[in-house]
Structure 1
Amino acid sequence: MYRQGIDSEDVALDMTRVILAKIEDESSSKEECEFHITPEEYADKAARKVACNRVRKLFDDVRDRYLDVFSPTEEITSSDTQLAIVISQ
């Protein structure tokens, strides 16, 4: 994230949140992966927001399950554009 020039509120914490979202997705029993962004989603601002919201929801699920660890208001603070870069990698 840092190498991509992402300057969210706290890039280290955001990276942790994104990793936790990825782990949440990979440990899910769902058939389809939610931690992804298609080239079409990446190119379109509205679709990019949808893809980023999928990833934010994954972190929200982790946060809500571990309220003894996370504040109820904790979230991924990177912009959609910044988060899309990370998701696409």
Structure 2
Amino acid sequence: MVKHKDKRLKRILKDLQYCRKAIIRSFNETNKLKFDEEDSRDARESVDRDKELIKHIDPLIMAASELLGLEPPKLEKVPRVTIQHANQV
């Protein structure tokens, strides 16, 4: 029974780490794009939701690592996101 729980916990940890990496990738992509005014509002809301999500994911990653007896992972720093408007140079 314990072995099964460890497998599930490892899977959860892997999924959380993947989600975190995907969010950071989307932040990096967002920094490269330019948005019109309406899209920039949507992008800002999306970035804010993702930042809030990362605030919840990080402690879960740490807790899962601790429960599995693993070293706490070194989490990649969350990049600063700048929403650029299309009319900016």
TM-score (norm: length of structure 2): 0.32
Higher strand share: 2
Higher relative contact order (CA 8 A, sep 6+): 2
TM-score (norm: length of structure 1): 0.32
